[in-house]
Structure 1
């Protein structure tokens, strides 16, 4: 009997060893990218020691992985940042030179451009988008000869045929499964679209004018309940993870939240929990759902080889009533100047956390500058995909930072920032050059405030290390450094890329020269 046991035991051990190491050694990682909407750097308590909003679940994510302290979105508003995330390319190389899209806008990303999803799909990934799209898709038209308005007026939607599928949306850009709405949660039409097809035809019109919970008037489907949209997207994601994790192939889930962007709609159980205002409550609600997401991942048995990334599409919006928050000691932009829409740090410096137990140690902090455009090159490296010259032109591979490799030079040569009105800034090392005299956005001094703007130097130069709040403009005293950065920015614009490689064309070639003319004024 003893001999039999000794003979069987090694076989059994080998079986269990092979099963336990199959996922770790042979399978590419699952990837979950969670993009919050308008959540400020200082709204996550692990980034703000004086935060009045507690985010224990996001904090825990950081403690179990890698926290970046100098992460930036490519723009300080929604649509352009999303473009950069999915394409690895700055938005201003596309047709979107300023502002954001609406819920009725046509597709911004052409079907022949490689996206993170189409790249991973080529590598046999299951790919899914759930949430806020805000990159345009082509609604079916009752009368194709009638273009209608841009989507800011209720009548702009009269020509949409909601009984037919949309074109040039997530499906055409590499997402095998998709479920979401077209624009921000305050932009009509308020209709869910699943795999290219509206789930219900709108049967009513809704509008809300609450202080925090306002949204524009427009067609609304019976299954689209504003208060339930964020919970609904999380629930859909939980269902997707539970089912897709049973499949042999790995998956990529892009979960683009509509929160805590307006309308600010914490569900009843979260109302009043922050002791600040509804925005604080909404952030806490998002954090709670992040905890539930982590639980689903663990219960599915895929935690060890799943990359979870949490970040935001830009800084906190003044629609959060930041003055109310600051009166109670909470600063959504932390120590940084400005907020959403601005070229200042508060517009585009965001929380960025990566957890990957199999590859990233716990409680790691990186102060290297990274950008949300870096997703494509990073994932390409992980799955063994070689980017062509016309793919991910502004995307850098940050995997060495996952592994804490000692580097002689920074990952990024420089990073370009962009504000809502199309103003540029370029950051290299400790230095940041802003190519406009004011905020380029919504904080003072605003671009349309000629009285304030006219009295300022045309450029701004800051040492972000010694002056993170951008209080002292060094441009008048250091024009040599400003000229160096301006020259690099012009090079990035004209060459159609900021990474090494063959020069590429921007979508509107004359844009480059117009921008250079503006810079050289």
Structure 2
């Protein structure tokens, strides 16, 4: 993105001077070792968004970006992934009309870490979000100094809206509206009752920007309507629409299951399936508004889940494990990318990628710039989305720390996966030949195990320095 200053005196002289001290570079850019402080990055982007700079003429406005995020979705629990006991025609249509990344991962096996990586484009460990932010941790949240995707897109004129689950902090300084989102309707906690809209401690948790409000609608229907309305209101300018569903996270309540008391639920497969179908209807409702405004070919749409499903109701087949674990079943996710005319319909890519890669992908699609020195772990998937090959990623790292347990580790590299259990036991799998992780090769490949362990230790020192 090219910038030029106006010749006349500016009332924003202080902002202009700050920007002149920091060189901006087109996206993408190799990450240098020295990084700007988070506060400087944020100040620079705010100045860039508000200062009297002008963009050179662009051939067309940048594309809209829509990101649907399911919650605790089993990797096999969609029609196009083979589910026989539920229907997801709208998500299946995204798959048929777009690109399916068949080896995609969430950045963690639980909610908060995945969301942190997704919105920052960095491993969540860099921000101290290595596990769930629990409902009782009322003073904890993602640092306001973190640079989030909506802040980057704002420099290109985007309006950003979040409709759904935040789960990155409870204090006002951590609200989405303080971290780049222009609009927010949803909840802060890890889950809420779908009808009573309270969290596990029975705190009211339905927000419009920074104010609590009441609404009788089933939560999935509510955010579908609000997200569709966002498209209607902002169709004339580029927008970033982030729809992180609570579904199908517990409590297991279908749209017809209004309980008398909060968190009453039917913990069975049938109810879980009805929640997924409701989510699919919500996706269809938003997509209908995009088509109604002739924005179909000007909108990049992505769909994925924050982690694998829970064992009581979900299917993560053919993968081993479930939510909370670093087995493939805990971190593998469907990932779809759709943009008619730009992304080839019905295509597939087997390259390993992660949710955090959507940060770099969206920034490149928008033509956005990052502050010089800002380090991303994200890799843009735009070349792969367009039918080519994305830059190869040598490794993907995972780390999860649950309360009262040892840390879990995982590293993917060149078709191999190194895992350390919470008990401290090391394992090794050749995923290219054993995606279900049934043959532990740690004892027969000791040198490979040692090399991968050393690579992991070096990464851990980088993202979680002592």
Fold agreement, TM-score > 0.5: yes
TM alignment of 1:55-454, pairs within 5 A = 55-102=88-135, 105-138=138-171, 166-186=172-192, 187=199, 188=201, 189-199=203-213, 223=214, 225=216, 228-245=218-235, 247=236, 249-268=237-256, 276-318=269-311, 321-322=312-313, 332-388=315-371, 391=374, 393-406=376-389, 411-419=392-400, 421=402, 422-436=407-421, 440=422
CA distance, structure 1, for counterparts of residue 361 and residue 283 of structure 2 = 23
Q: Tell me the TM-score normalised to structure 2 length.
A: 0.78
Aligned to 2:74: 40
Cα deviation for residue 268 of structure 1 reads 2.3
CA distance in 2, matches of 1:368, 1:127: 29
Report if the CA contact (8 A) 1:312-1:351 is conserved. Answer: yes
Q: Aligned with 1:42: secondary structure? A: coil
Q: Aligned partners of 2:372 and 2:323: how far apart in 1?
A: 32
Question: Displacement of 1:384 after TM fit?
Answer: 2.5
8 A Cα contact 1:77 1:420, kept in partner: no
Residue 148 of structure 1 corresponds to which residue in structure 2? none
Q: Distance in 2 between matches of 1:264 and 1:308?
A: 27
Please list every run of 5 or more consecutive structure 2 residues that lacks an aligned counterpart in the other structure: 1-57, 193-198, 259-267
Displacement, 1:115?
Answer: 0.6
Q: Write the deviation string for residues 364-415 of structure 1: whole angstroms up to 9, x where unpaired.
A: 11111110011221122222234446645321111110122246xx632111
Tell me the distance in 1 between the aligned counterparts of 2:162 and 2:283: 17
How many residue pairs match? The answer is: 389
Greater Cα shift, 342-351 or 383-392: 383-392
Q: 1:6 maps to which residue?
A: none
Q: Structure 2: how far apart are the matches of 1:103 and 1:390? A: 36
Tell me the distance in 1 between the aligned counterparts of 2:368 and 2:228.
28
TM-score by length of 1: 0.71
Alpha-carbon distance in 2 for matches of 1:366, 1:115: 27
Could you tell me which residue of structure 2 aligns to residue 471 of structure 1?
Answer: 438
Q: Measure how far apart 1:52 and its partner are.
A: 2.8
Q: Name the SS for the 1:264 alignment partner.
A: coil
- Tell me, yes or no, if the aligned pair for 1:84 and 1:91 is still in contact at 8 Å: yes
Superimposed CA distance per residue, residues 12-45 of structure 1 (whole angstroms, 9 cap, x where no aligned partner): xxxxxxxxxxxx9411000110111101110012
Contact 1:71 1:349 in 2 (8 A): yes
Separation of aligned partners in 2, 1:171 and 1:241: 18
Aligned partner of residue 174 in structure 2, secondary structure: coil
Query: Any conservation in 1 of the 2:395–2:414 contact (CA below 8 Å)?
Result: yes
Would the aligned equivalents of 2:108 and 2:331 in 1 still touch at CA under 8 Å? yes
- Secondary structure, in 3 states, of the residue corresponding to 1:475? coil
RMSD: 2.3
| Residue of structure 2 equivalent to 1:162 | none
When you count helix as a share of all residues, which structure comes out higher?
1
Q: What is the distance in 1 between the residues matched to 2:358 and 2:205?
A: 29
C-alpha distance in 2 between matches for 1:62 and 1:394: 26
Q: CA deviation at 1:474?
A: 0.3
Query: Separation in 2 of the partners of 1:314 and 1:392?
Result: 25
CA distance in structure 2 between the aligned counterparts of 1:168 and 1:99, rounded to whole angstroms:
15
The change in CA–CA distance for 1:342 and 1:129 in structure 2 (over 3 A counts) is same
The superposition leaves residues 312-339 of structure 1 with CA deviations (integer Å, 9 ceiling, x where unpaired) of: 1000023xx23xxxxxxxx610110011
Change (3 A) 1:481 1:356: same
- Relative distance call for 1:389 and 1:72 in structure 2 (3 A) is farther
Q: Say whether the 8 Å CA contact 1:76–1:420 is kept in structure 2.
A: no
Deviation of 1:130 (Å):
1.1
User: How far does residue 112 in structure 1 lie from its aligned partner after superposition?
Assistant: 2.1
Give the whole-Å Cα distance in 1 for the aligned partners of 2:372 and 2:327. Answer: 31
For residues 39-58 of structure 1, the C-alpha deviation after alignment (integer angstroms, 9 at most, x for no partner) is 1110012123x543232211
Give unpaired runs (5+ residues) of structure 1: 1-23, 139-165, 200-222, 323-330, 441-446, 448-456, 497-505, 511-521
